[in-house]
Amino acid sequence: MSTSRPDHTAPSHPIALFCLHERLVSCYCCRMKEQFAVAASQDVLRHLDAAAAKAGLSRGQTFEDFLTFVRCCLAGQTMEDEYLRTVAKGYQQGKQGQRGIDSITHAFANLVMAMEATGQDVLGDVFTGGITYGERGQFFTPDPVCQMMAEWTVVDPGNEPHTVNDPACGSGRFLLAVGRKHPHWEFVGQDVDHRCAQMTAINLGLNVLKGWAVWQNSLTLACHRVYRIGWNGSGGVIREVAVADSPFGDQARKDTNSRQPPEQQTLLPPPASSQQLDLF
Protein backbone atom coordinates (compact mmCIF):
# COMPACT_ATOMS: atom_id res chain seq x y z
CA MET A 1 0.00 0.00 0.00
CA SER A 2 1.34 3.39 -0.92
CA THR A 3 1.78 5.83 1.94
CA SER A 4 2.57 8.88 -0.21
CA ARG A 5 0.55 11.98 0.53
CA PRO A 6 -1.86 13.25 -2.12
CA ASP A 7 -0.71 16.24 -4.12
CA HIS A 8 -2.84 19.23 -3.13
CA THR A 9 -0.89 21.72 -5.23
CA ALA A 10 -2.92 21.11 -8.40
CA PRO A 11 -6.69 20.78 -8.83
CA SER A 12 -7.96 17.26 -9.52
CA HIS A 13 -11.43 18.08 -10.85
CA PRO A 14 -11.57 17.89 -14.68
CA ILE A 15 -13.25 21.30 -15.03
CA ALA A 16 -10.69 22.89 -12.72
CA LEU A 17 -7.86 21.27 -14.68
CA PHE A 18 -9.35 22.56 -17.93
CA CYS A 19 -9.65 26.11 -16.56
CA LEU A 20 -6.06 26.00 -15.30
CA HIS A 21 -4.88 24.77 -18.69
CA GLU A 22 -6.76 27.54 -20.52
CA ARG A 23 -5.32 30.19 -18.21
CA LEU A 24 -1.77 28.93 -18.69
CA VAL A 25 -2.19 28.82 -22.47
CA SER A 26 -3.65 32.33 -22.45
CA CYS A 27 -0.76 33.70 -20.38
CA TYR A 28 1.76 31.93 -22.62
CA CYS A 29 0.19 33.34 -25.79
CA CYS A 30 0.18 36.85 -24.32
CA ARG A 31 3.86 36.54 -23.44
CA MET A 32 4.63 35.34 -26.96
CA LYS A 33 2.88 38.38 -28.47
CA GLU A 34 4.59 40.96 -26.26
CA GLN A 35 7.00 43.18 -28.19
CA PHE A 36 8.48 46.39 -26.85
CA ALA A 37 10.59 49.10 -28.44
CA VAL A 38 11.75 50.28 -25.01
CA ALA A 39 13.18 47.70 -22.62
CA ALA A 40 11.94 49.61 -19.56
CA SER A 41 8.35 49.05 -20.70
CA GLN A 42 8.61 45.52 -19.31
CA ASP A 43 9.30 46.90 -15.82
CA VAL A 44 6.21 49.08 -15.97
CA LEU A 45 4.11 46.14 -17.13
CA ARG A 46 5.53 43.89 -14.41
CA HIS A 47 4.25 46.27 -11.71
CA LEU A 48 0.88 46.53 -13.46
CA ASP A 49 0.60 42.74 -13.49
CA ALA A 50 1.33 42.71 -9.76
CA ALA A 51 -1.39 45.31 -9.17
CA ALA A 52 -3.85 43.30 -11.28
CA ALA A 53 -3.16 40.11 -9.31
CA LYS A 54 -3.62 41.86 -5.96
CA ALA A 55 -6.85 43.56 -7.03
CA GLY A 56 -8.23 40.51 -8.84
CA LEU A 57 -8.56 42.35 -12.15
CA SER A 58 -7.37 41.78 -15.69
CA ARG A 59 -4.23 43.34 -17.12
CA GLY A 60 -6.27 45.42 -19.57
CA GLN A 61 -8.55 46.79 -16.86
CA THR A 62 -5.59 47.54 -14.62
CA PHE A 63 -3.85 49.46 -17.41
CA GLU A 64 -6.98 51.52 -17.98
CA ASP A 65 -7.21 52.20 -14.24
CA PHE A 66 -3.50 53.09 -14.25
CA LEU A 67 -4.21 55.82 -16.81
CA THR A 68 -6.96 57.14 -14.53
CA PHE A 69 -4.64 57.12 -11.52
CA VAL A 70 -1.87 58.99 -13.34
CA ARG A 71 -4.27 61.51 -14.89
CA CYS A 72 -5.81 62.22 -11.48
CA CYS A 73 -2.37 62.58 -9.89
CA LEU A 74 -1.41 65.15 -12.52
CA ALA A 75 -4.65 67.09 -11.95
CA GLY A 76 -3.61 68.77 -8.70
CA GLN A 77 -6.34 67.21 -6.51
CA THR A 78 -9.12 68.32 -8.86
CA MET A 79 -10.15 64.73 -9.70
CA GLU A 80 -10.09 63.17 -6.23
CA ASP A 81 -13.56 61.60 -6.47
CA GLU A 82 -12.66 59.70 -9.62
CA TYR A 83 -9.35 58.66 -8.04
CA LEU A 84 -11.04 57.23 -4.93
CA ARG A 85 -13.69 55.42 -6.98
CA THR A 86 -10.94 53.72 -8.95
CA VAL A 87 -9.00 52.76 -5.81
CA ALA A 88 -12.16 51.14 -4.42
CA LYS A 89 -12.13 48.54 -7.22
CA GLY A 90 -9.80 46.48 -5.04
CA TYR A 91 -6.47 48.31 -5.16
CA GLN A 92 -6.72 49.20 -1.45
CA GLN A 93 -6.86 45.61 -0.24
CA GLY A 94 -3.94 44.21 1.76
CA LYS A 95 -1.23 45.56 4.01
CA GLN A 96 0.43 48.86 3.26
CA GLY A 97 3.31 48.28 0.88
CA GLN A 98 1.70 45.13 -0.50
CA ARG A 99 -1.50 46.57 -1.96
CA GLY A 100 -2.39 46.96 -5.59
CA ILE A 101 -2.16 50.73 -5.29
CA ASP A 102 1.44 50.34 -4.09
CA SER A 103 2.30 48.44 -7.27
CA ILE A 104 0.56 51.19 -9.27
CA THR A 105 2.85 53.71 -7.56
CA HIS A 106 5.93 51.69 -8.57
CA ALA A 107 4.65 51.47 -12.15
CA PHE A 108 4.23 55.27 -12.28
CA ALA A 109 7.75 55.81 -10.91
CA ASN A 110 9.19 53.42 -13.49
CA LEU A 111 7.23 55.16 -16.25
CA VAL A 112 8.61 58.60 -15.37
CA MET A 113 12.19 57.33 -15.03
CA ALA A 114 11.99 55.49 -18.36
CA MET A 115 10.61 58.57 -20.12
CA GLU A 116 13.40 60.73 -18.71
CA ALA A 117 16.07 58.18 -19.64
CA THR A 118 14.90 57.42 -23.19
CA GLY A 119 12.88 60.46 -24.27
CA GLN A 120 10.41 58.09 -25.90
CA ASP A 121 6.72 57.30 -25.60
CA VAL A 122 6.97 54.52 -23.02
CA LEU A 123 3.26 54.65 -22.21
CA GLY A 124 2.28 53.96 -25.81
CA ASP A 125 4.89 51.21 -25.99
CA VAL A 126 3.33 49.44 -23.01
CA PHE A 127 -0.13 49.87 -24.56
CA THR A 128 0.64 48.39 -27.97
CA GLY A 129 3.24 45.88 -26.81
CA GLY A 130 1.53 44.43 -23.76
CA ILE A 131 -2.16 45.42 -23.79
CA THR A 132 -3.78 45.60 -27.22
CA TYR A 133 -1.40 43.70 -29.54
CA GLY A 134 -2.85 45.68 -32.45
CA GLU A 135 -6.48 45.50 -31.30
CA ARG A 136 -8.78 47.33 -33.76
CA GLY A 137 -5.78 48.08 -35.95
CA GLN A 138 -4.08 50.19 -33.29
CA PHE A 139 -0.47 50.12 -34.41
CA PHE A 140 1.16 53.37 -33.34
CA THR A 141 3.69 55.02 -35.63
CA PRO A 142 7.21 54.33 -34.27
CA ASP A 143 8.90 57.24 -32.50
CA PRO A 144 11.71 57.64 -35.08
CA VAL A 145 9.17 57.83 -37.92
CA CYS A 146 7.17 60.47 -36.02
CA GLN A 147 10.36 62.47 -35.51
CA MET A 148 11.25 62.21 -39.21
CA MET A 149 7.73 63.32 -40.23
CA ALA A 150 7.95 66.29 -37.87
CA GLU A 151 11.30 67.31 -39.34
CA TRP A 152 10.04 67.05 -42.91
CA THR A 153 6.58 68.56 -42.63
CA VAL A 154 6.81 71.26 -39.95
CA VAL A 155 8.46 74.44 -41.19
CA ASP A 156 10.03 76.68 -38.57
CA PRO A 157 8.06 79.97 -38.62
CA GLY A 158 10.24 81.65 -36.03
CA ASN A 159 8.74 82.59 -32.68
CA GLU A 160 5.16 82.84 -33.94
CA PRO A 161 2.97 80.33 -32.00
CA HIS A 162 1.01 77.73 -33.94
CA THR A 163 -1.44 74.93 -33.19
CA VAL A 164 -0.79 71.34 -34.25
CA ASN A 165 -3.73 68.93 -34.47
CA ASP A 166 -3.70 65.15 -34.72
CA PRO A 167 -7.30 63.88 -35.21
CA ALA A 168 -6.30 60.26 -34.55
CA CYS A 169 -3.58 60.89 -31.99
CA GLY A 170 -3.06 57.49 -30.37
CA SER A 171 -0.69 58.17 -27.49
CA GLY A 172 0.28 61.58 -28.89
CA ARG A 173 3.57 60.56 -30.50
CA PHE A 174 3.43 62.93 -33.44
CA LEU A 175 2.52 65.81 -31.12
CA LEU A 176 5.47 64.94 -28.90
CA ALA A 177 7.77 64.86 -31.91
CA VAL A 178 6.72 68.37 -32.94
CA GLY A 179 6.88 69.50 -29.32
CA ARG A 180 10.57 68.63 -29.10
CA LYS A 181 11.23 71.23 -31.78
CA HIS A 182 8.50 73.76 -30.91
CA PRO A 183 7.67 73.42 -27.19
CA HIS A 184 5.90 76.82 -27.14
CA TRP A 185 3.20 75.73 -29.61
CA GLU A 186 -0.24 74.39 -28.69
CA PHE A 187 -1.04 70.73 -29.32
CA VAL A 188 -4.46 69.15 -29.88
CA GLY A 189 -4.99 65.41 -29.92
CA GLN A 190 -8.33 63.71 -30.60
CA ASP A 191 -9.06 60.00 -30.49
CA VAL A 192 -12.14 57.79 -30.42
CA ASP A 193 -10.49 55.62 -27.72
CA HIS A 194 -10.58 57.12 -24.22
CA ARG A 195 -7.37 55.31 -23.32
CA CYS A 196 -5.59 57.09 -26.14
CA ALA A 197 -6.95 60.49 -25.11
CA GLN A 198 -5.70 59.87 -21.57
CA MET A 199 -2.26 58.73 -22.77
CA THR A 200 -1.98 61.89 -24.86
CA ALA A 201 -2.97 64.05 -21.89
CA ILE A 202 -0.40 62.32 -19.68
CA ASN A 203 2.36 62.50 -22.28
CA LEU A 204 1.77 66.17 -22.98
CA GLY A 205 1.61 66.98 -19.27
CA LEU A 206 4.77 65.08 -18.34
CA ASN A 207 6.64 66.72 -21.23
CA VAL A 208 5.57 70.23 -20.11
CA LEU A 209 3.56 70.92 -23.27
CA LYS A 210 0.23 72.72 -23.46
CA GLY A 211 -2.90 71.95 -25.42
CA TRP A 212 -5.93 69.65 -25.46
CA ALA A 213 -6.50 65.90 -25.29
CA VAL A 214 -10.00 65.01 -26.41
CA TRP A 215 -12.00 61.80 -26.30
CA GLN A 216 -13.85 62.40 -29.54
CA ASN A 217 -14.78 60.88 -32.85
CA SER A 218 -13.13 63.35 -35.19
CA LEU A 219 -15.41 62.28 -38.07
CA THR A 220 -18.82 62.62 -36.42
CA LEU A 221 -17.51 65.17 -33.84
CA ALA A 222 -19.28 63.26 -31.05
CA CYS A 223 -17.35 64.35 -27.97
CA HIS A 224 -17.28 62.65 -24.55
CA ARG A 225 -14.50 64.13 -22.38
CA VAL A 226 -12.07 67.02 -22.80
CA TYR A 227 -8.77 67.57 -20.97
CA ARG A 228 -6.91 70.89 -20.95
CA ILE A 229 -3.16 70.42 -20.66
CA GLY A 230 -0.99 73.06 -18.99
CA TRP A 231 -0.75 74.70 -15.60
CA ASN A 232 -4.24 74.40 -14.07
CA GLY A 233 -3.80 76.79 -11.14
CA SER A 234 -4.20 73.97 -8.58
CA GLY A 235 -0.72 72.51 -8.70
CA GLY A 236 -1.42 70.20 -11.62
CA VAL A 237 -1.01 70.11 -15.40
CA ILE A 238 -4.28 68.43 -16.44
CA ARG A 239 -7.74 69.91 -16.02
CA GLU A 240 -11.03 68.46 -17.23
CA VAL A 241 -13.26 70.89 -19.07
CA ALA A 242 -16.97 70.34 -19.59
CA VAL A 243 -17.63 69.41 -23.20
CA ALA A 244 -20.16 72.23 -23.57
CA ASP A 245 -17.58 74.77 -22.37
CA SER A 246 -14.82 73.51 -24.66
CA PRO A 247 -14.04 74.22 -28.32
CA PHE A 248 -15.10 70.64 -29.11
CA GLY A 249 -18.74 70.61 -27.94
CA ASP A 250 -22.07 70.96 -29.71
CA GLN A 251 -21.32 74.49 -30.87
CA ALA A 252 -18.26 73.26 -32.77
CA ARG A 253 -20.43 70.64 -34.46
CA LYS A 254 -23.04 73.27 -35.37
CA ASP A 255 -20.35 75.55 -36.78
CA THR A 256 -19.04 72.69 -38.92
CA ASN A 257 -22.49 71.67 -40.15
CA SER A 258 -23.42 75.27 -40.99
CA ARG A 259 -20.59 75.67 -43.47
CA GLN A 260 -21.70 76.09 -47.07
CA PRO A 261 -20.98 73.09 -49.30
CA PRO A 262 -18.24 73.63 -51.86
CA GLU A 263 -19.26 74.65 -55.34
CA GLN A 264 -19.84 71.77 -57.69
CA GLN A 265 -17.14 71.13 -60.22
CA THR A 266 -17.98 71.86 -63.84
CA LEU A 267 -17.95 68.52 -65.62
CA LEU A 268 -16.73 68.12 -69.17
CA PRO A 269 -19.45 67.19 -71.65
CA PRO A 270 -19.39 63.60 -72.97
CA PRO A 271 -17.69 63.06 -76.33
CA ALA A 272 -19.87 63.33 -79.40
CA SER A 273 -18.62 60.01 -80.71
CA SER A 274 -19.17 56.75 -78.88
CA GLN A 275 -15.92 55.33 -80.20
CA GLN A 276 -13.18 54.59 -77.72
CA LEU A 277 -10.16 56.85 -77.68
CA ASP A 278 -7.22 55.67 -79.67
CA LEU A 279 -4.59 55.25 -76.97
CA PHE A 280 -1.84 53.83 -79.18
Domain ranges for the chain, please list them: 35-132, 142-254
Asked if 90 and 56 count as a contact pair (C-beta separation under 8 A), the reply is: yes
Q: What is the pLDDT of residue 135?
A: 72
Q: In what order do the strands lie in the sheet with 238-241?
A: 163-166, 186-191, 210-216, 223-229, 238-241
Question: Which of 19-33, 130-144, 171-185 holds the top average pLDDT?
Answer: 171-185
Confidence band, pLDDT 50/70/90 cuts, at residue 139: confident
The pTM of this model reads 0.79
Q: Which residues contact 153 (CB under 8 A, 6 or more apart)?
A: none
**Is residue 146 within 8 Å of residue 173, measured between CB atoms?**
yes
Confidence (pLDDT) at 71? 98
Q: Is residue 162 over pLDDT 80?
A: yes
Mean pLDDT of the region 73-96? 96
pLDDT at 280 (0 to 100) = 28
| pLDDT bracket for residue 271 (50, 70, 90) | very low
Confidence of residue 29 (pLDDT cuts 50, 70, 90): very low
- Return the minimum-mean-pLDDT range out of 41-50, 136-145, 164-173, 215-224: 136-145
Residue 26 reports pLDDT greater than 70: no
